[in-house]
């Protein structure tokens, strides 16, 4: 889990997260790593001091940290083919409106009736909250990871353009954080090079528009341009001294929310699994280190979810065979992302075991009881219990007694370990989330808390009004008050606040 002194290196964790954002944005694995290497080379070419080079590296690794924040909404507008959409949009994100329109026309709503497709394209062309949400949530997560204020501020402006036509605030020129100005050029240059196109032509075309001319000039002066990002090269590129996490558990809780916010049906899921697994492991008599390791694995057990389309996770009906194969892949992706990072490798196999079953019918390894450690069997039972208690697109959430009955039935059928089920049921006897303390909810009134929780679960203002028997106009006023009190400007930011403060139990 750490180096010889018990510390976890920040760059390793961020490099792992970059692999996850590559998956979430449907880019080649390693794209974020290569971007960071090029960004560091540019920063050094421009004469930046070591601490600023460090910030540049971290921003380049994490520029898409907020990408899961509006994934569900984007999927609804795109319809089928999310992967093709993200792939088409990547090279035109910092380009002109004509290229963006062509990419949208080719990928949005291709299976929808023509009038609906036109509405979807128009909605995406005029959608400014999506990128603003990316920035706000990315900054919130970066702060929870313990990163510097320079990195937090830069991620809050991740899509600004030199000419002032970017997001979220339309900053221009040197008002844009320098880390962003460098990361934008590095990312696009790596993407274009991967596609076999002329990087020089791209930089010349966007110089003084999306790109800072000084950064473009620095690229032209590079003696060598870094190629595919090797893991060790990224670690070696960090300026001295090497930095370490102060709070690994807090960082992994942030990673859990990065994953869970992807779908309104899973928000708050990973921390609930962690609570249940921790309680069950304690009831089982496991030692403190084993309990801590299980809780950490539970927080990141669904990391691979980000690599599967929302059209699958949010589908209300039965899944096709191909969809199921993608679902089964997510535990493998969890394992590979965690295993790639030495600091997290001890969690990889355990975290990826949450869908294994004692009779060998689970996934992704289809192992049997004697090959699943006790902690893995507890994690599997905790994951099922947390899922049963929550609403899903194809069914309502179950009452606790009904969920316990289903869990017991699966144990009797030989799917889940009987002892693990008993311990999880014991752990579920009380609230699955800690009680909310008044000082951690931003001074929100009880009604505002109700509204916030409905919003965080994906409800529109109209649906919130219907659920609470108030008018949509009243809901709108509550939303304005909530945003002002907790210091956010987007629905995704409010959702992240609710998740961080465990309001969705």
Is 488 in the same domain as 356? no
Domain count, the chain: 3
Residue 39: CATH number of its domain: 1.10.3210
Residues 6+ apart with CB under 8 A from 432: 272, 275, 276, 386, 389, 505
Tokens of 486: 């907790």
Using the structure block, give the residue that is written with the tokens 């990315």: 138
Query: Which domain, by its residues, includes 457?
Result: 438-500
- Render pLDDT for 260-304 as a digit per residue (tens, 0 to 9): 999 999 999 999 999 999 999 999 999 999 999 999 999 999 999
226 belongs to a structural domain: no
Is 303 in the same domain as 325? yes
∠ CA 234-240-245, rounded to 5°: 75
Tokens of 272: 């609930």
Burial label, 440 (beta-carbon count in 10 A; 0-12, 13-18, 19+): exposed
Q: Cα separation of 310 and 79, whole Å?
A: 10
Is 210 in the same domain as 138? yes
At 440 the pLDDT is: 52
- Render pLDDT for 398-447 as a digit per residue (tens, 0 to 9): 999 999 999 999 999 999 999 999 999 999 985 444 444 444 588 999 99
Tokens of 262: 């992807």
Residue 392: CATH number of its domain: 1.10.3210.10
255 belongs to a structural domain: yes
In the DSSP assignment, the letter for residue 161 is -
- Which of 383, 399, 427 is a domain's end point? 427
Is 423 in the same domain as 442? no
Is 480 in the same domain as 453? yes
Q: Cα separation of 250 and 85, whole Å?
A: 33
3-class DSSP string for 275-315: HHHHHHHHHCCCCHHHHHHHHHHHHCCCHHHHHCCHHHHCC
Number of H helices, E strands in the chain: 26, 0
How many CB atoms are located within 10 Å of the residue 4 CB?
5
Q: Cα separation of 259 and 305, whole Å?
A: 7
Q: Cα separation of 489 and 97, whole Å?
A: 25
Q: What are phi and psi of 352, to 5 degrees?
A: -80, 0
- Render pLDDT for 1-42 as a digit per residue (tens, 0 to 9): 455 455 899 999 999 999 999 999 999 999 999 999 999 999
Among candidates 264, 298, 266, 304, which has minimal Cα distance to 281?
A: 298
411 belongs to a structural domain: yes
At 227 the pLDDT is: 74
Is 341 in the same domain as 262? yes
Burial label, 264 (beta-carbon count in 10 A; 0-12, 13-18, 19+): buried
2 belongs to a structural domain: no
Is 47 in the same domain as 104? yes
In the DSSP assignment, the letter for residue 207 is B
- Which of 398, 427, 456 is a domain's end point? 427
- Render pLDDT for 66-99 as a digit per residue (tens, 0 to 9): 999 999 999 999 988 899 999 999 999 999 989 9
227 belongs to a structural domain: no
Among candidates 268, 178, 169, 255, which has minimal Cα distance to 489?
A: 169
Tokens of 227: 């190629």
Among candidates 173, 170, 175, 153, which has minimal Cα distance to 162?
A: 173
Mean pLDDT of all residues in the chain?
94
Residues 6+ apart with CB under 8 A from 262: 24, 68, 71, 72, 305, 306, 310, 313
Is 96 in the same domain as 173? yes
Is 418 in the same domain as 448? no
Quote the percentage of the chain above a pLDDT of 90. Answer: 88
Is 252 in the same domain as 399? yes
Is 254 in the same domain as 334? yes
- Render pLDDT for 189-241 as a digit per residue (tens, 0 to 9): 999 999 889 999 999 999 999 999 999 999 999 998 887 778 999 999 999 99
Distance from the first to the final alpha carbon of the chain: 29
Tokens of 287: 């030692």
Is 112 in the same domain as 260? no
Residue 480: CATH number of its domain: 1.10.10.10
Alpha carbon separation from 166 to 149, 207, 245 (Å, rounded):
21, 14, 32
Q: What is the pTM of this model?
A: 0.94
Taking each helix axis as running N to C, give the angle between helix 446-456 and helix 491-500, from 0 to 180 degrees, rounded to the nearest 10.
Answer: 110
Radius of gyration for the chain, computed over Cα atoms and rounded to the nearest angstrom: 23
231 belongs to a structural domain: no
232 belongs to a structural domain: no
342 belongs to a structural domain: yes
At 6 the pLDDT is: 59
């Amino acid at each position: 889990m750490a180096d010889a002194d018990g510390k976890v290196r920040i760059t390793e964790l961020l490099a792992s997260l970059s692999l996850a954002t590559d998956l979430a944005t449907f880019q080649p694995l390693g794209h974020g790593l290569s971007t960071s290497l090029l960004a560091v080379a540019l920063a050094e070419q421009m004469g930046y001091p070591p601490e600023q080079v460090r910030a540049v590296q971290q921003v380049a690794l994490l520029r898409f940290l907020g990408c899961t924040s509006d994934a569900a909404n984007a999927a609804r507008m795109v319809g089928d083919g999310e992967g093709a959409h993200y792939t088409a949009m990547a090279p035109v994100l910092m380009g002109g409106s004509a290229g963006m329109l062509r990419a949208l026309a080719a990928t949005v709503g291709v299976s929808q009736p023509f009038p609906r497709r036109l509405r979807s394209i128009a909605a995406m062309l005029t959608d400014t909250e999506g990128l603003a949400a990316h920035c706000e949530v990315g900054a919130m997560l970066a702060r929870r990871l313990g990163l510097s204020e320079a990195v937090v501020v830069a991620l809050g402006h991740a899509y600004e353009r030199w000419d002032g036509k970017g997001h979220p605030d339309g900053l221009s020129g040197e008002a844009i954080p320098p880390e962003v100005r460098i990361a934008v050029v590095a990312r696009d240059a790596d993407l274009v090079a991967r596609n076999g196109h002329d990087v020089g032509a791209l930089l010349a075309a966007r110089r003084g528009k999306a790109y800072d001319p000084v950064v473009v000039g620095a690229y032209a002066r590079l003696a060598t341009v870094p190629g595919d990002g090797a893991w060790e090269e990224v670690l070696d590129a960090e300026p001295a001294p090497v930095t370490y996490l102060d709070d690994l558990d807090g960082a992994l809780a942030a990673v859990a929310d990065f994953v869970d916010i992807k779908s309104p049906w899973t928000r708050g899921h990973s921390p609930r699994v962690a609570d249940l697994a921790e309680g069950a492991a304690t009831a089982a008599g496991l030692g403190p280190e084993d309990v801590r390791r299980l809780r950490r694995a539970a927080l990141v057990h669904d990391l691979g979810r980000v690599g599967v389309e929302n059209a699958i996770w949010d589908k209300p009906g039965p899944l096709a065979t191909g969809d199921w194969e993608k679902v089964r892949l997510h535990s493998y992706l969890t394992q590979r992302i965690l295993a790639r990072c030495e600091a997290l490798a001890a969690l990889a196999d355990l975290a990826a075991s949450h869908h294994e079953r004692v009779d060998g019918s689970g996934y992704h390894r289809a192992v049997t009881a004697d090959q699943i450690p006790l902690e893995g069997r507890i994690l599997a039972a905790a994951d099922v219990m947390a899922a049963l208690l929550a609403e899903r697109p194809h069914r309502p959430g179950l009452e606790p007694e009904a969920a316990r009955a289903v869990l017991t039935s699966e144990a009797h059928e030989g799917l889940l370990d009987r002892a693990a089920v008993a311990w999880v049921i014991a752990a579920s006897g009380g609230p699955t989330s800690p009680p909310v303390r008044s000082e951690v909810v931003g001074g929100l009134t009880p009604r505002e808390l109700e509204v916030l929780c409905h919003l965080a679960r994906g409800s529109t203002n109209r649906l919130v009004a219907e659920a609470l028997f108030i008018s949509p106009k009243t809901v709108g006023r509550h939303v304005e008050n909530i945003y002002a009190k907790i210091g956010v400007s987007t629905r995704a930011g409010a959702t992240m606040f609710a998740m961080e403060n465990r309001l969705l139990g």
